[in-house]
Amino acid sequence: MVEQKTGTVVHKKLVSETLMRFRLMPEPDNRFPDYDEGQYIALRRDDCKLTRKTGVAPDGKPVYEPDLDPWGRQTIGSVTHSYSVASAPAETAEHGWLEFFVALEYGVHGLPGRLSEALFGMSKETSCEVTYHDRITGNFTLSARAEDAKSVLFIGTGTGVAPFVSMVKELHARGDGGDDRRYTLLHTNRTAPELGYHDTLFEIEAAGRFDFMYVPTVSRPSEHAAVDKRIGQGRASNVLRHIFDLPTTEEENQTSAGGDVARTAANIALERLVHPVLPSHLSPTAIRDRVDPAASVLLTCGNPVSTADIRSTAARRQIRFEMEEW
């Protein structure tokens, strides 16, 4: 049985209404266990609004509804989930905290996620305490997944960038010219502010302490927002296809659609497509040249739909594929 301890959130920053970064200090007179970049820890709050399974939807997925007490109030209790550590071990050694990048989950039926809602609700009034398992674990690490590779392509979508932020920050902290691998991070979120870590990642790239290329894109570019030309456009899966000279998923679906209904759906998807565009200073060749399929590994974490498409591109271009399952 893993020991449970109670830490305190010392820094909480809303990146958007549904995205948050926070730092957790360990229980007083304790330190967090040593960890490797890419690992995760289990967190718990005891003030979560509970749900219960009420049936199964036509698509076979379980349906959850608020769990109500006899007076019609939603029951409150504990929920524990795993979260990837977004801080680097070097930062934890220096400051003591762990950092996390968390999304406010909304289920298929519009119910807020039990634990993520409680984490977003943390305040002095509701308490900033978070219980944690005193163990940081997982094998989504460079030593376990990227051994022997000369080039590592990270693809992080949404909060799935967290393990890569930890890895990149740690490589920067250790950067002493001794690591001759090439690291490339393709990082996508809906909007530029939601990338969450782009300022730090641009700074690390500019510092040049190891061979690192940062390729951020947004999947919902706004014509009204100021355009940062260092940030490209399109979903990570389509940007990857663009880099490797493949049509987008939507274009491919349109070509293969059989029957009127499928063709109409494919046409609508194609009309709505945000075409992949790389940051203005980069070309597909510049990135492709860094990722020789025979000597590279692609590590991805995040949105499961994107991940499935990224896996298929990796297979088509014969690049070794590794993913973190959330």
Ligand X SMILES: Cc1cc2nc3c(=O)[nH]c(=O)nc-3n(C[C@H](O)[C@H](O)[C@H](O)COP(=O)(O)OP(=O)(O)OC[C@H]3O[C@@H](n4cnc5c(N)ncnc54)[C@H](O)[C@@H]3O)c2cc1C
302 is an interface residue for ligand X by CB under 6 A: no
Judged by CB under 6 A, which of 25, 102, 240, 310 binds ligand X? 102
Per-position x/- string for 216-255, each x denoting binding to ligand X as judged by CB under 6 A, each - no binding: ----------------------------------------
Q: Please state, in angstroms and rounded to a whole number, the distance separating the CA atoms of residues 159 and 293.
A: 26
Binding span for ligand X by CB under 6 A among 21-29, 107-115, 124-132, 144-152: 107-115
114 is an interface residue for ligand X by CB under 6 A: yes
Site residues (CB under 6 A) for ligand X, limited to 72-101: 79, 81-84, 100-101
22 is an interface residue for ligand X by CB under 6 A: no
Judged by CB under 6 A, which of 51, 157, 233, 254 binds ligand X? 51
If you write DSSP's letter for every residue of 160-207 in order, what string do you get?
GGHHHHHHHHHHHHH-SS----EEEEEEEESSTGGG-SHHHHHHHHHH
Count of residues interacting with ligand X (CB under 6 A): 23
Q: Please state, in angstroms and rounded to a whole number, the distance separating the CA atoms of residues 25 and 135.
A: 14
Q: Distances from the Cα of 267 to the Cαs of 72, 252, 273, 274, in angstroms?
A: 46, 11, 10, 14
Which residue shows structure tokens 């690049």? 319
Furthest-apart CA pair in the chain: how many Å? 66
Judged by CB under 6 A, which of 25, 115, 215, 239 binds ligand X? 115
41 is an interface residue for ligand X by CB under 6 A: no
Residues 279-318 as b/e (b if ≥16 CB within 10 A, e otherwise) read beeeeeeebeebbeeeebbbbbbbbeebbebbbebbeebe
Least Cβ distance, residue 223 to ligand X (angstroms): 29
Closer residue to ligand X in complex, CB, 107/175? 107
Distance of CA 116 to the CA centre of its chain: 15
Q: Please state, in angstroms and rounded to a whole number, the distance separating the CA atoms of residues 102 and 159.
A: 6
Least Cβ distance, residue 231 to ligand X (angstroms): 22
Binding residues for ligand X, rule: CB under 6 A, are 40, 51-52, 64, 79, 81-84, 100-103, 105, 107-108, 113-116, 159, 162, 326
